[in-house]
A and B are shown apart, each in its own frame.
Chain A
Amino acid sequence: MKNILIVDDEQDIVESLKFVLETAGFNCYTAFDGEEGLRLAKEIIPDLMILDVMMPKINGYKISRLLKYDSKYKEIPILMITARSQEEDKLIGEETGANEYITKPFDLDDVLKQVEKYLGKQN
Chain B
Amino acid sequence: MTRIFLISDRINVIEKYDKLCRENSYDFKNSADLKIIDDILSAEAQDIVLFDNETSSFNVKEVLKNIRSLVENSIVILITGNKNPDKDISKSINAIISDDFSDSMILAALSINIRAQSSLKKLADTNKDLAASLYRQNTLYGISSQFASTLNSEKLLEFMIEGLDKTLSFSLACTLSFCSGEEPVLILNSLYEISDELLNAIKVRTIYNYNSLFENGDIPFKIDENKLKVLKYIKFPANRFNFTLFRFDNMFARIALGDTFYGCVEVFKENHFSPEDSKCFQTIVQQVTLPLKNASLYQEIIETNQKLERLEKLKSEFISIVSHELRTPLTSIKNSLDILLSGRCGEVTENSEKFLSMAKRNVTRLSGIINDLLDLSKIEAGKMDFQFKPVSINTVMDYVKSALSGLAKEKSLNLIIKTEENLPNIMGDSQRLEQVLTNLLSNAIKFTPEGKNITLKSELKNADDIEYHPCFAEYMKNLKGDYVIVSVEDEGIGIAENEYLHAFDKFAQIENSLSRKAGGTGLGLPIARQLLEAHNGAIWCDSVLNKGSNFHFAIPVDSANIKSEEILV
Which A positions have Cβ atoms within 8 angstroms of B? 10, 12-13, 16-17, 19-20, 23, 83-88, 104-109
**Interfacial chain A residues near B367, Cβ < 8 Å:** 105
How far is B367's CA from A83's CA once the two chains are assembled, in angstroms?
11
How far is B387's CA from A20's CA once the two chains are assembled, in angstroms?
35
Residue among B330, B335, B387 with max Cβ neighbours from chain A (10 Å): B335
**Contact partner of B344 among A17, A20, A83, A88, CB < 8 A?**
A20
A108 (CB) vs chain B CBs: closest residue: B338
The 3 residue pairs across chains A and B that have the minimum distance between CB atoms: A16-B335, A12-B332, A105-B331
Kindly identify, within residues 405 to 451 of chain B, every residue whose CB is under 8 Å from any CB belonging to chain A. none
Given contacts A19-B339, A105-B367, A109-B338, contact A88 B332 (CB under 8 A): no
Judge whether A108 and B332 touch: CB under 8 Å: no
Cβ proximity bits B369-409 to A, threshold 8 Å, 1 near / 0 not: 00100100010000001010000000000000000000000
Is B324 part of the binding interface, using a Cβ–Cβ cutoff of 8 Å? yes
**Interfacial chain A residues near B327, Cβ < 8 Å:** 83, 104-105
B385 (CB) vs chain A CBs: closest residue: A87
Judge whether B335 and A17 touch: CB under 8 Å: yes
Is B336 part of the binding interface, using a Cβ–Cβ cutoff of 8 Å? yes
Q: Smallest distance from the beta carbon of A11 to chain B beta carbons, Å?
A: 9
**Contact partner of B332 among A16, A20, A84, A109, CB < 8 A?**
A16
Given contacts A87-B385, A87-B387, A105-B367, contact A20 B339 (CB under 8 A): yes
How many contacts A-B (CB < 8 Å)?
Answer: 54
**Interfacial chain A residues near B29, Cβ < 8 Å:** none
Judge whether A23 and B332 touch: CB under 8 Å: no
**Contact partner of A108 among B324, B339, B374, B378, CB < 8 A?**
B339
How far is B338's CA from A106's CA once the two chains are assembled, in angstroms?
11
**Interfacial chain A residues near B324, Cβ < 8 Å:** 83-84
Given contacts A16-B339, A20-B339, A20-B344, contact A106 B385 (CB under 8 A): no
- A to B CB contacts below 8 Å, 19 in the list: A10-B331, A13-B332, A16-B332, A20-B335, A20-B344, A83-B324, A84-B324, A85-B374, A86-B378, A86-B385, A87-B385, A87-B387, A104-B327, A104-B328, A104-B330, A104-B331, A105-B327, A105-B363, A107-B334
Given contacts A13-B328, A19-B339, A20-B344, contact A105 B334 (CB under 8 A): yes
A84 (CB) vs chain B CBs: closest residue: B324
How far is B378's CA from A109's CA once the two chains are assembled, in angstroms?
29
Judge whether A88 and B385 touch: CB under 8 Å: yes
How far is B339's CA from A4's CA once the two chains are assembled, in angstroms?
19
**Interfacial chain A residues near B331, Cβ < 8 Å:** 10, 13, 104-106
Q: Smallest distance from the beta carbon of B331 to chain A beta carbons, Å?
A: 4
**Interfacial chain B residues near A105, Cβ < 8 Å:** 327, 330-331, 334-335, 363, 367
Judge whether A16 and B336 touch: CB under 8 Å: yes
Beyond A20-B344, A87-B387, A109-B338, list 17 extra A-B contacts (CB 8 Å).
A10-B331, A13-B331, A13-B332, A16-B338, A20-B335, A20-B339, A83-B324, A85-B371, A88-B385, A104-B328, A105-B330, A105-B363, A105-B367, A107-B334, A108-B338, A108-B339, A109-B342
How far is B342's CA from A86's CA once the two chains are assembled, in angstroms?
30
**Interfacial chain A residues near B328, Cβ < 8 Å:** 10, 13, 83, 104
Kindly identify, within residues 227 to 260 of chain B, every residue whose CB is under 8 Å from any CB belonging to chain A. none
How far is B541's CA from A118's CA once the two chains are assembled, in angstroms?
47
B334 (CB) vs chain A CBs: closest residue: A105
Q: Smallest distance from the beta carbon of A107 to chain B beta carbons, Å?
A: 7
Kindly identify, within residues 308 to 338 of chain B, every residue whose CB is under 8 Å from any CB belonging to chain A. 324, 327-332, 334-336, 338
